[in-house]
Structure 1
Amino acid sequence: MRAPIGFRISNRRKSLRISQAALARQIGISPSYLNLIENNKRDIAGSLLQRVAQCLDIEIGDLTGEAEQKLLQDLEEAYADPAVESLPFQPDERRQLVAQYPASAMALARMHRAYMGAVADADAYADRLRSDPLLGQLLHQVLSGITAIRSSAEILEDVQDLDDAERSRFLGAIGRETRTLSEVARSLIGQFESSSQAASSVSALREIDDMIIEQQNHFPQLEDAAVRLRVELDAQGTFGVETLVSALESGFGVRTIIGGPPDSPDFPGQYRYRPDARIMWFQGSTTLATRQFQLARLFGELSAADVLRQTLELARLSTDRARRLAARALGSYLAGAIVFPYSRFLGEAEACGYDIDRLRQRFNGSFEQIAHRLVSLRRPGEEGIPFGFLRSDPAGRLTKHFPLPGLLLPNTGHACPLWAIYCAFRQPEAMLRQVVQFSDGSRYMFLARSLQQRPASFREPNNVVSVMLACDVLHADRTVYGQGLNLLDQAADVPVGPTCRLCTRRDCAARQEEVLSPGGPVSATRVPLVPHEFGLGDSA
């Protein structure tokens, strides 16, 4: 998805009263090519973008509008909603709205997000009422209680010759039923509140996305804290599991236990920290990379609690769930910054062409840990390739993602079935590369690999996930994965979309849902063989 960079260039040029021909001459391109750029029909990046920014006296970040690209993605979802998708929107209406009326675009996106939250709540309540036997039982108890109270009250009201003992007995029955009904009502409210909390997970993840995009996937205060903590650890010995175990024990009284059963039999994780007992437990099958990363994460959270708290307070998070998920994400970020020091890691990545396997060997990290760190290399003046990140379970459900401005990554559910993240499940442990093209002409390189956790026992099922990195194809030649590819030959690109619901490709053989994009002919997906079958047998 192209951001409205061209519109921004045009608006800025006109405000400075510079002609199109004059600007084209200053930056060294033809006026016709500049016209295509300003109409958002050609990509612009690298040195050409820097020359444009210099001639227009504007920051590159203001031109690229990375923050606005997330807004553009939110509008794409809003405009594809079934409630409004049939309206006759213009092809560039969303981009024009973001470029010229950003406040109105933000208002529309926020209203759609609130609407989706309300729909999720309503669906959760409806599902509970339809399928939860406990709720059915509670509602039955409510009705029974009301009936009993009403019967006793009618007797007291209608029968005038009751003696004191009988009247006292009916009043006691009303009191008992009222107390029981009160307890049932509290249980019922609790059930609905738990449904609402479960349904709020979507909005919580959206808030964390906004926090990450606002920081451009980079948190300088955590990077500074990581530098300080790494120096402290290096002073105690060679960085690794042994040094981290020693630092945790000497500095915080934390004991590390590897292997043996967890203290809770039903605990499903590979590691766990018990603050009350000061014990960090690892499953015996965990890899050294996992132990090193999680020990660094614990050391960071204990040593830099104030920095983490301040970073969390600066984020605009509205719920406890969002704050809890954000705290976990920030703790993992700090761990990555400790294990993979910024400047050294970026230098190694540039030197080896972002070869993830080489970086794994150099820093003793896992594939997913290295991929996470590559996403965060956004320090101003010392930036790496901008990557997006996705993780999927075998059912295709996206379980983690770090957005890349310009690339429409689904917030929940499933992505396009043609993406490499799903192809990787068919080739276990193999690195897949894929050059894709979206319907708006934007092109990306996808890198995906399936990963398998070590099972703790024969009876434990294998836990497999797929991880994918994505970058603009303009950066592909800086990586080892771009070698051997003819990046100029767009005929070899895989035509994809974000999801079936948001994709405008009507002729895609992999399509599983109706086209919801406005305009064009009626979708031919899943139509009956005989058209207008409801008219069969009607008289002429």
Structure 2
Amino acid sequence: MVESSLHAGPALRRLRRNAGLTQAAMAERLDISPSYLNLLERNLRPVSARLMLALAERFDVDPRDLTGDEPGGGLGPMRRRLSDPVFADLGVEPGEIEDWLAASPGTAAAFARLYDRVQGGGGGVAAGVTVDDPVARVRGEIERWRNHFADLDHAAEELADALRLQSGDLYSAISERLRTKHQLSIRILPENVMPGRLRRLDLHARQLQLSEMLDMASRTFQAAYLLGQLEHRADINALVAGAQFGDRTAERLYQRHIFSYFAAAVMMPYGRFLRACEQSGYDMLLLQRRFGAGFEHVAHRLTTLQRVGQRGLGFFMIRIDRAGQVSKRFGGASRAPLADTEVTCPLWHLHQAFSRPSQVQVQVVELEDASRWLTLARSVQGAGYGAAGTTAEFAIGLGVPVDQAATLCYARGMDLSAAGATRIGPGCAMCKRGDCPQRSKPPIGIRLKFDDRERGVTPFDFVTD
């Protein structure tokens, strides 16, 4: 099991300054050299497990306080902000952004906050226009926790163990607990009785009503979701209050995410699920069958395996529709740039998943920063009918850094080297690869060049220096 590197320079610098210590004084208390602490604060070295323990013992630091403190959300989100056309003439390079985040995290965070508050429609900055995106704020809070809520995960694991003693079938066990402890029954209703609805709690009839359109995995998930609402609402509301959104919409979105997190944790209890992942090489089909879960349930759960001392691989997850619009994404421990982009690259096999239903597409991709990722993609269908009888369809993308991928069953026979990787980018507007035949638009902030005597593979030739 591979631990992800943790770079926490801004958090360490803030901790030192709040304690009123010089670098030399703090280094002495941590039994490291001042020069090494300087490298840590500049994000040039990761925080080791030994140093993490020393910080916990001598400064009473919770690891979560170190993992979610990148100004503006980190490199990916800052690159997105600076790709706005209003900055196009500045030609800001990724390296400059990294230096800025490391050297001046406070001013970077201030820029991000100001930009987010004055960001207008159409992707540009409109002075005087205030847009506060609750979805983005909730995602930021989820990423701050690395999508792992340790106390809630332990509570879900204890509940799952108790339900197993009651029955070998989780759905039956939850149904019985709802009946005996909460005087609620589960009733499956025809689609025409619940048009446009998958779940309804009828307190008058004392029923959890579920649509017949839900498959067995989704019925179990919805029943576990209700159990979380009934038995752990106080714990979850405390997490929501701690986020300090000050906005009811953001609070409700965040609350819904955590209830869903709890339901998935009941279906896939942490210890048993992680053991199954490691024993099977993270075989998605096996995990689905063993835990009675859907592909998307399992994919989401893989991004949450961040328990201290018992970590899984650093998966990221993204969900898109046929138009390439992102409706769900979790960077996980890997902080994957692929989970930060608003537009996905058409060369990524994520888009091929729609034309190959139920097949897992495996691909090694290389980003512009030379990082390589083993990615999996598969299409999934939503439940129920919408307007004109349409059914939702999405593609789920998963990935891990190639240096963690060797233990995956999907890596067998794969060339994980640069030679075997497909070179992709974060969407044409932000990608500076000059030889891509799939390019649809020039990169923002780059000067185009024209030559009437030649025609390249793309209509957009440009100067990168």
TM-score (norm 2): 0.79
Asked if 1:109 corresponds to 2:38, the answer is no
Distance 1:92 1:112 in 2: 20
After TM superposition, the structure 1 stretch with the greater mean CA deviation from structure 2, 406-415 or 383-392, is: 406-415
Q: Once the 2 structures are TM-superposed, how far is the Cα of residue 236 of structure 1 from its aligned partner? A: 2.9
AA in 1 matched with 2:419: A
Return closer, same or farther for 1:429/1:119 CA change in 2, 3 Å cut-off: closer
* 3-state secondary structure, aligned to 2:200: strand
Q: Show structure 2 runs of 5+ residues with no match.
A: 17-22, 57-62, 456-465
Contact 2:362 2:377 in 1 (8 A): yes
Q: Once the 2 structures are TM-superposed, how far is the Cα of residue 239 of structure 1 from its aligned partner? A: 3.7
Distance 1:426 1:390 in 2: 18
Return closer, same or farther for 1:466/1:523 CA change in 2, 3 Å cut-off: farther
Q: Once the 2 structures are TM-superposed, how far is the Cα of residue 301 of structure 1 from its aligned partner? A: 1.2
AA in 1 matched with 2:84: D
Report the counterpart of residue 434 of structure 2 in structure 1.
506
Q: Once the 2 structures are TM-superposed, how far is the Cα of residue 435 of structure 1 from its aligned partner? A: 0.9
Asked if 1:484 corresponds to 2:408, the answer is no
Q: Once the 2 structures are TM-superposed, how far is the Cα of residue 259 of structure 1 from its aligned partner? A: 3.1
What are the equivalent positions in structure 2 for 1:345-364 lying under 5 Å apart?
345-364=273-292
Report the counterpart of residue 469 of structure 1 in structure 2.
398
Q: Once the 2 structures are TM-superposed, how far is the Cα of residue 97 of structure 1 from its aligned partner? A: 0.9
Distance 1:67 1:448 in 2: 30
Distance 1:120 1:396 in 2: 17
AA in 1 matched with 2:86: A
Contact 2:316 2:335 in 1 (8 A): no
AA in 1 matched with 2:108: A
Contact 1:422 1:466 in 2 (8 A): yes
Report the counterpart of residue 256 of structure 2 in structure 1.
328
Contact 2:385 2:391 in 1 (8 A): no
Q: Once the 2 structures are TM-superposed, how far is the Cα of residue 523 of structure 1 from its aligned partner? A: 6.7
* 3-state secondary structure, aligned to 1:84: helix
Asked if 1:225 corresponds to 2:228, the answer is no
Report the counterpart of residue 451 of structure 1 in structure 2.
380
Return closer, same or farther for 1:504/1:316 CA change in 2, 3 Å cut-off: farther
Asked if 1:396 corresponds to 2:398, the answer is no
Report the counterpart of residue 68 of structure 1 in structure 2.
70
AA in 1 matched with 2:173: T
* 3-state secondary structure, aligned to 2:107: helix
What are the equivalent positions in structure 2 for 1:282-301 lying under 5 Å apart?
282-301=210-229
* 3-state secondary structure, aligned to 2:395: strand
Q: Once the 2 structures are TM-superposed, how far is the Cα of residue 65 of structure 1 from its aligned partner? A: 6.1
Distance 1:471 1:208 in 2: 23
* 3-state secondary structure, aligned to 1:273: strand
AA in 1 matched with 2:448: V
Asked if 1:426 corresponds to 2:352, the answer is no
Show CA shifts across 1:315-339 (max 9, x none): 1323211111111100000011111
Q: Once the 2 structures are TM-superposed, how far is the Cα of residue 455 of structure 1 from its aligned partner? A: 6.0
Asked if 1:258 corresponds to 2:258, the answer is no
Asked if 1:368 corresponds to 2:292, the answer is no
Report the counterpart of residue 377 of structure 1 in structure 2.
305
Return closer, same or farther for 1:318/1:16 CA change in 2, 3 Å cut-off: same
Return closer, same or farther for 1:370/1:89 CA change in 2, 3 Å cut-off: closer
* 3-state secondary structure, aligned to 2:119: helix
Return closer, same or farther for 1:299/1:521 CA change in 2, 3 Å cut-off: same
AA in 2 matched with 1:338: V
Contact 2:174 2:224 in 1 (8 A): yes
Distance 2:124 2:231 in 1: 39
Q: Once the 2 structures are TM-superposed, how far is the Cα of residue 16 of structure 1 from its aligned partner? A: 7.0
Report the counterpart of residue 201 of structure 2 in structure 1.
273
After TM superposition, the structure 1 stretch with the greater mean CA deviation from structure 2, 410-419 or 74-83, is: 410-419
Q: Once the 2 structures are TM-superposed, how far is the Cα of residue 409 of structure 1 from its aligned partner? A: 4.1
Contact 1:514 1:523 in 2 (8 A): no
Distance 1:523 1:310 in 2: 56
TM-score (norm 1): 0.68
Q: Show structure 1 runs of 5+ residues with no match.
A: 28-34, 127-195, 530-540
AA in 2 matched with 1:293: F
Return closer, same or farther for 1:249/1:473 CA change in 2, 3 Å cut-off: same
Q: Once the 2 structures are TM-superposed, how far is the Cα of residue 213 of structure 1 from its aligned partner? A: 1.5
Distance 1:447 1:437 in 2: 14
* 3-state secondary structure, aligned to 1:515: coil
Asked if 1:244 corresponds to 2:174, the answer is yes
* 3-state secondary structure, aligned to 1:424: helix
Contact 2:191 2:213 in 1 (8 A): no
AA in 1 matched with 2:285: D
Q: Once the 2 structures are TM-superposed, how far is the Cα of residue 453 of structure 1 from its aligned partner? A: 4.3
Asked if 1:85 corresponds to 2:88, the answer is yes
Contact 2:214 2:383 in 1 (8 A): yes
Contact 1:225 1:307 in 2 (8 A): no
Report the counterpart of residue 346 of structure 2 in structure 1.
417
AA in 1 matched with 2:151: Q
What fraction of aligned residue pairs are identical, expressed as a percent? 27
RMSD of equivalent CA atoms: 3.9
* 3-state secondary structure, aligned to 1:85: helix
Contact 2:303 2:314 in 1 (8 A): yes
Instruction: Identify the match of residue 343 of structure 1 among 259, 262, 271.
Output: 271
Report the counterpart of residue 97 of structure 2 in structure 1.
94
What are the equivalent positions in structure 2 for 1:14-163 lying under 5 Å apart?
50=48, 67-68=69-70, 70-89=73-92, 92-116=95-119
AA in 2 matched with 1:420: H
* 3-state secondary structure, aligned to 2:368: coil
AA in 2 matched with 1:241: Y
Over alpha carbons, which structure has the higher Rg?
1
* 3-state secondary structure, aligned to 1:416: coil
Distance 2:376 2:295 in 1: 12
Contact 2:8 2:69 in 1 (8 A): no
What are the equivalent positions in structure 2 for 1:147-186 lying under 5 Å apart?
none
Q: Once the 2 structures are TM-superposed, how far is the Cα of residue 257 of structure 1 from its aligned partner? A: 1.3
AA in 2 matched with 1:415: T
Return closer, same or farther for 1:486/1:256 CA change in 2, 3 Å cut-off: same
Contact 2:163 2:170 in 1 (8 A): no
